[in-house]
Structure 1
Amino acid sequence: MPAPLRVSLSTSSVYPGSTSSGFETAARLGFDGVEVMVGIDDVSADITAVKALSGFHEIPIVSVHAPCLLVTQRVWGSDPWGKLHRSAEMALEVGASVVVVHPPFRWQRDYARTFVDGIAELETRHGITFAVENMYPWRTGKREFQAYAPGWDPIEQDYAHVTLDLSHSSTAGGDPVEMAADLGPRLAHIHMTDGSGSAKDEHLIPGRGTQPCKEFLAAVAASDFAGEIVVEVNTRKAKDQAERESELLEALAFTRLHASV
Structure 2
Amino acid sequence: MPSPTTPLVALSTASVYPESTAHAFAWAASLGYDAVEVMVGIDALSQQVDAVQKLAEHHQVPICAVHAPCLLFTQRVWGTDPWGKLERSAEMAQAVGADVVVVHPPFRWQKDYAAGFVEGIASLEARTGIAFAVENMYPWRASSRRGMEMYLPGMDPSDEPYANATIDLSHAAIARADVVEMAQRLGDRLRHVHLTDGTGSAKDEHLVPGRGVMGAAGFLNHLARTGFAGHVVLEINTRRCADRAEREADLVESLEFARAHLGVGTP
The equivalent residue for 1:22 is: 24
Query: What are the residue-to-residue correspondences of 1:28-177 with 2, within 5 Å?
Result: 28-141=30-143, 142=145, 144-177=147-180
Q: Distance in 1 between matches of 2:227 and 2:185?
A: 14
Contact 2:25 2:55 (8 Å CA) reproduced? yes
Deviation of residue 2 (structure 1)?
Answer: 7.5
Cα distance, 1:4 vs structure 2? 3.8
> Which among 191, 211, 215 is matched to residue 212 of structure 1?
215
Cα distance, 1:249 vs. partner? 0.3
CA distance in 2, matches of 1:45, 1:86: 10
Q: CA separation of 1:103/1:14 partners in 2, compared to 1, >3 Å: closer, same or farther?
A: same
CA deviation digits over 1:167-197, x for unaligned, max 9? Answer: 1111100111111111101100000000011
Identify which of 171, 185, 190 aligns with 2:188: 185
Alpha-carbon distance in structure 2 between the residues aligned to 1:2 and 1:120:
24
CA displacement 1:183-227 (0-9 Å, x = unmatched) = 101100000000011111100000000011111001101113221
Matched AA of 2:44:
D
* Equivalent-residue separation in structure 1 for 2:16 and 2:205 (angstroms): 15
- Between 87-96 and 174-183, the greater mean CA deviation after superposition: 174-183
The one-letter code of the counterpart of 2:204 is D
Please state whether the residue corresponding to 2:147 is helix, strand or coil: strand
Paired positions, count: 261
TM-score by length of 1: 0.98
Percent identical residues: 60
Question: Residues 164, 260 of structure 1: CA spacing in aligned structure 2 closer, same or farther, 3 A cutoff?
Answer: same
Letter in 2 for 1:173: R
The code of the aligned residue for 2:9 comes to: V
**Secondary structure of the equivalent of 1:54?**
helix
Query: Secondary structure of 1:144's partner?
Result: coil
Residue 200 of structure 1 corresponds to 203
Query: Per the alignment, in what secondary structure is the counterpart of residue 27 of structure 2?
Result: helix
Q: What is the alpha-carbon root mean square deviation over aligned residues?
A: 1.2
- Cα distance in 2, alignment partners of residues 260 and 3 from structure 1: 12
Determine if contact 2:4/2:229 at 8 Å carries over to the other structure. Answer: no
Please report how far the alpha carbon of residue 140 of structure 1 lies from its aligned counterpart in structure 2 after TM superposition.
Answer: 1.5
3-state secondary structure, aligned to 1:145? coil
Amino acid at match of 1:155: S
Shift in CA distance, 151/64, structure 1 to aligned 2, threshold 3 Å: same
Query: Residues 23-76 of structure 1: CA distance to partner in whole angstroms, max 9, x if unpaired?
Result: 111111110000000000000000000000000000000000000101101111
Q: Deviations over 1:71-126 (max 9, x none)?
A: 10111111000000000000000000100000000001100010000000000010
Secondary structure of the 2:25 match is: helix
Q: Secondary structure of the residue that 1:107 maps to in structure 2?
A: coil
C-alpha distance in 1 between matches for 2:13 and 2:223: 23
* Structure 2 length-normalised TM: 0.96
Q: Does residue 240 of structure 1 match 2:239?
A: no
